[in-house]
Amino acid sequence: MDLTSILLALVVLLLATAICVILFERLGFGSILGFIVAGIIIGPHTPGPVATENVESLKHIAELGVVLFLFTIGLEVRPERMWSMRRLLFGLGSLQILVTAAVLGSYLILFTDASWESAVIAGLGFAMSSTAIIMATLSERGELATEHGQTSFAILMAQDIWIVPVMALVPILAHRTAEATEAPLWESVLLLVVAVGGIIVVARYLLPAALSYTARRRHMEAFGIVVILSVVAAAWIAEQAGLSMTLGAFLIGMLLSASDYRYQVEATIAPFKDILMGLFFIAVGMSIDVGALLSDGLLLITHVPVILVLKVVILIGLTLAFGIGRQAAIRSGFLMSQFGELAFVVFGAATVAGVLSTQQLTIGMLAVALSMILTPLMVKVGSELAERLGTVSVIEGAEAPADLDRHVVVIGYEEVGQLICLMLERANVPYVAFDRDISCVRDGKRSGRNVHFGDINSPFTQRVAGLGRADAAYVTLWDMRQAKAVAVTLKHLYPQLDVFVQVRSLRDQDELAAQGINNAGTGYIESTLLRGSMLLKGIGIPEADVQELVEDFQGENYALIRSAYANPER
């Protein structure tokens, strides 16, 4: 494929995606459905321009987006919070898999020509929901910290764990015994323990040391490479041990959740994650064979809605039985109604083993894709039904990315920034501070200050800082070029924000004033006037005369000082 063809494919892909995402967001269905529909339009199974024929390779690459997404979710979940969810994770999550698989498998035996072996595999595959779609939907709607968000998350994690015994069941259902060359059970268990132990050791000791080294030297490119390398390596190790890649990524993210680098790590991952997640949904759309969908349309239209309804009923019933509120149970049930990407893995392995035929594989994958397309509609129906019964509840103690309101964001935590934070504390004004110097951040944390390691240029860090809800931002950075760039950017992105900037010269101050930033000021002039007034009073000049002199210097925007600086004889 030559460069011209690649560029043309990119133009087609981006144009179709932009149009579909804008359209479906405007219609209230969210961006995910837009990505999927864009994939259908430019896919190889639809007449018109085709971005690529190699959909499977594209899907494999895009699956890294799901891995990175689960890593960022792990960053939000501390191990102690995970342990507090054990009842939902191991109880509700496991029951959901077993009960849903039993009911859906029975339905397929009774109302289709599926054998009991293929019905069991299909039931288990359909019992799993899409981690990518659900977590992206919750994130997009700001509902990760809600009761239904936490409930859905616990069930999804349980499903990732259950993929191991489900995959082990495939050769059994194919009536195959383990070959003599296959590793015995104790070796598989040992490999699993070593893999998980290795991820824990790396995440708790080696990775923080590497991040600390790059952060102290401000090698942010190396910082990003270390982060991505650790996530990909954890996913690969987990897959080699027979676990889900997403489970490995989630584990290493969870172990980093208490790190000083948490926000900067997520800011580093965010651009890659967003691009690859969008690519994943596009690849899902491109894999949908519209012709097969039409030929098997009656079968799919007859059974898929019934299976979705059965799954919703089971999910709502089980969540209610575990003490989840009625509104949260309804939202969770409709949100998790679709079939997930793990079903592709299960169905593929079952086809290779001979449990499913090629036609059953095609129908199963079309059913999964169709259920994914219907997700935004199901979520909308579930939300409207839940809203009639009450409001969304938020779990106590659940961490939101930024929980401040009408606060001050301090950018830079060296001497000036520390003093500003101290003044805000004494005045009982809420604040959050960010700096790229890990030593300053650690000193601040030891003093009990709300300071974090992060780059305020990152959109993610800006969201964490709550700049959209803040009253003011105070920029104090040693690099004056960067300080001015940050101030101007914040003023354009957040017009309601009062931006204060510590600058070094009147020229810097005037430059920012021309950009509409009227709260820029030089620290050295005022501090020199203060020290100079102390000098004059110390040598006997009356205080009233000193005050008058200082006011003269401050008057008309430091006109006297400007004229002195402009004097060529100076």
pLDDT in tens, 232-241: 998 888 888 8
Phi, psi torsion values for 409, nearest 5 degrees: -105, 120
Specify whether 379 is located in the same domain as 293.
Answer: yes
Residues 41 and 86 placed together within one structural domain of the fold: no
Same domain (yes/no): 250, 385: yes
Read off φ and ψ for residue 451, nearest 5 degrees.
-125, 140
Local confidence band at 317 (pLDDT 50, 70, 90 cut-offs): very high
User: What's the number of CA atoms in the CB half-sphere (13 Å) around residue 380?
Assistant: 11
Residues 6+ apart with CB under 8 A from 570: 564
More confident residue, 165 or 175: 165
Angle subtended by helix axes 245-255 and 185-201, to nearest 10:
40
Same domain? 485 vs 561: yes
User: What distance in Å separates the CA atoms of residue 287 and residue 250, rounded to the nearest whole number?
Assistant: 27
- Is there a domain that residue 502 lies in? yes
Look at residue 120 in the predicted model and tell me its pLDDT: 92
358, 389, 420 - which closes a domain? 389
CATH code (residue 535) = 3.40.50.720
Indicate the helix (H) or strand (E) that contains 500: strand 498-503
Q: How far is CA 182 from the centre of its chain?
A: 38
Query: pLDDT category, 372, cuts 50, 70, 90?
Result: confident
Based on the fold, state whether residues 440 and 305 are members of the same structural domain: no
> Do residues 356 and 344 touch, judged by C-beta distance below 8 A?
no
* 184 pLDDT tier (thresholds 50, 70, 90): low
Kind plus residue range of the DSSP H or E element containing 164: helix 147-173
CA distance 57 to 41: 18
Q: How far is CA 569 from CA 469, 505, 553, 564, 565, in A?
A: 49, 19, 20, 9, 9
Neighbours of 125 (CB within 10 A): 25
The answer to whether position 203 is within a domain reads no
Provide the sign of the torsion angle of the four alpha carbons 118, 121, 127, 128, taken in this order. Answer: negative
540 and 493 housed in the same domain: yes
On the 0-12 / 13-18 / 19+ scale of CB atoms within 10 A, 287 is buried
**CA-closest candidate to residue 235, choices 396, 87, 71, 89:** 71
CA distance 452 to 142: 22
What range does the domain containing 465 cover? 408-566
Residues 354 and 249 placed together within one structural domain of the fold: yes
Q: What's the token pair of residue 545? A: 């005369």
Neighbours of 446 (CB within 10 A): 8
* Residue 119 counted as domain residue: yes
Bridge partners of 545, per DSSP, are none
Decide if 234 is inside a domain. Answer: no
Q: Say what angle helices 297-321 and 358-389 make with each other, to 10 degrees.
A: 50
pLDDT for position 176? 46
323: part of which helix (H) or strand (E)? none
Give the residue from 267, 211, 266, 263 showing the smallest Cα distance to 432.
Answer: 263
Please give the torsion angle defined by the CA atoms of residues 379, 380, 386 and 387, in that order, rounded to the nearest 10 degrees: 140
In this structure, are 337 and 443 located in the same domain?
no
* Structural domain ending residue among the three candidates 15, 30, 53: 53
Residues recorded for the chain: 570
Of 36-40, 173-177, 215-219, the poorest mean pLDDT is in: 173-177
The total of structural domains in the chain comes to: 3
- Shared domain for 311 and 372, answered yes or no, is yes
What is the 8-class DSSP label of residue 35? H
pTM of the predicted protein model = 0.58
Residues 471, 496: Cα–Cα separation, whole Å: 8
Helix axes 262-286, 131-140, angle to 10 degrees: 120
563 vs 506: CA distance, rounded Å = 12
- 236 in a structural domain: no
The two structure tokens encoding residue 219:
């090698």
- Plot region of 72 (φ>0 → left; ψ -120 to 50 → alpha; else → beta): alpha
- Do 44 and 65 have their domain in common? no
**Residue 300: predicted pLDDT:** 82
167 shares its domain with 277? yes
Q: 46 and 34, same structural domain?
A: yes
What angle (nearest 5°) sits at the alpha carbon of residue 12, between those of residues 6 and 15? 135
Q: Does a structural domain hold residue 541?
A: yes
Mean pLDDT, range 430-456, rounded to an integer: 86
pLDDT over 90 at 568, yes or no: no
* 3-state class percentages of the chain: helix first, strand second, coil last, to nearest 5: 70, 5, 25
pLDDT band at 540 (very low <50, low <70, confident <90, very high): confident
